[in-house]
Amino acid sequence: MLIPIVVQVCLLVMVSGETLSNARPKCFYNETVDLRNYESLSNGSYLYRDILIEPEKLAFYEYRIKFLGRRVKAERHLRGCICDTSKRRYCINLCCEVGETYNKTSTRCEPMPVLSSWPMQIPMVLMNGTKVNVALLDHFVYKVDLPCKKPEWLLIENEPWELNEDGILQILEKSDAVIDDYADLGTVSYCITPYLPNSTKNYVLAPMSCPIKNEKTFLMTLNTYSMTVSVIFLIPTIIIYILLKSLRSSISGRM
């Protein structure tokens, strides 16, 4: 699908350019974590899962960014930078806390069944293309957040996917849950949670994302807005052209 240059630029700004301040960027939004439930240290820093977040890496937000960069108003809350690609500290979103699984029917996080264990391994593709199984919590710094209110499963047998080493989820074939322009999903556009396949008794880790049919995406909104603006400016142009043509014919007739 061909996207107008203006639309591409606007989308890039929304997804990648949402930073902690309007002055000098501290980090991108998808590299931050909500610190509302954490207490500050004596020097103003925060400790998040053994990662020290210094005061200069903190800022207050009044919005959240969801699926495909959609910006949603939110209560004022503190966020801090925790992901750092220069240190190979990559982040990932879990749908629920460790020890819980997302229940699609109730749309809530629920404790894992007593006799079931939280799965640790997930297939991943390294930067060099090698495919390996890794312990999710050892490789990634995890955050807990949903990409939308009612995410859907991306099951590998129906919608093949690969989790890259940097936390990007790559959709290998066309899916109802994503659109062609967004075969690569950033961490704000999906989350991972335990899933119980029908054919087994053991949970596996699987991603969830948002079905387009239930989600008015930022891209769709931008395209609609862009087309509307184009029509608004096109109508006066057509009217002026018709008036000028009529005026020229009138002048030519008089001469």
CB 109 within 8 A of CB 96: yes
Q: Give me the long-range contacts of 18-23 (CB less than 8 A, separation at least 24).
A: 18/65, 18/71, 20/57, 20/58, 20/59, 20/79, 20/81, 21/59
Cα 108–Cα 124–Cα 33 angle in degrees, nearest 5: 50
Give domain limits for the chain.
19-84, 90-215
Q: How far is CA 65 from CA 46, 61, 107, 213, in A?
A: 22, 11, 20, 19
Burial class (CB in 10 A: 0-12, 13-18, 19+), 210: buried
Across the range 21-39, mean pLDDT stands at 79
Q: Which residue has the tokens 């903190």?
A: 58
Q: What is the pLDDT of residue 184?
A: 86
Segment 64-74, tens digit of pLDDT: 999 988 999 99
Quick one: pLDDT band at residue 227, thresholds 50, 70, 90? Answer: low
> pTM for the full model?
0.69
Dig out the tokens for 8 from the structure: 């591409």
| Separation of alpha carbons 61 and 78, rounded Å | 6
What stretches of the chain show up as alpha helix (H) in DSSP? 5-16, 136-139, 218-254
Q: What is the pLDDT of residue 216?
A: 45
Dig out the tokens for 51 from the structure: 């990662």
Quick one: pLDDT band at residue 93, thresholds 50, 70, 90? Answer: very high
Q: What is the pLDDT of residue 182?
A: 45
Across the range 209-237, mean pLDDT stands at 54
How much of the chain, in percent, has pLDDT values that exceed 90? 54
Higher pLDDT pick, 14 / 45: 45
Is CATH 2.30.160.11 correct for 19-84? yes
CB 194 within 8 A of CB 119: yes
- 19-84 and 90-215 in the same fold: no
| Separation of alpha carbons 175 and 242, rounded Å | 46
**Quick check: 32 pLDDT over 60?**
yes
Segment 8-24, tens digit of pLDDT: 434 444 444 444 444 44
CATH number of 90-215: 2.170.180.11
Segment 105-161, tens digit of pLDDT: 999 999 998 878 999 999 999 999 999 999 999 999 999 999 999 999 988 777 789
CB 122 within 8 A of CB 205: yes
Quick one: pLDDT band at residue 249, thresholds 50, 70, 90? Answer: low
**Quick check: 181 pLDDT over 80?**
no
- Quick count: other Cβ atoms within 10 Å of Cβ 23? 7
Q: What is the pLDDT of residue 221?
A: 43
Q: What is the pLDDT of residue 206?
A: 94
CB 203 within 8 A of CB 116: yes
Higher pLDDT pick, 199 / 185: 185
Q: Coil, strand, or helix at residue 21?
A: coil
| Separation of alpha carbons 79 and 57, rounded Å | 8
* 24-28, 211-215, 227-231: the lowest-pLDDT one: 227-231
**Quick check: 237 pLDDT over 80?**
no
Higher pLDDT pick, 7 / 49: 49
Q: What is the pLDDT of residue 20?
A: 42
CB 166 within 8 A of CB 90: yes
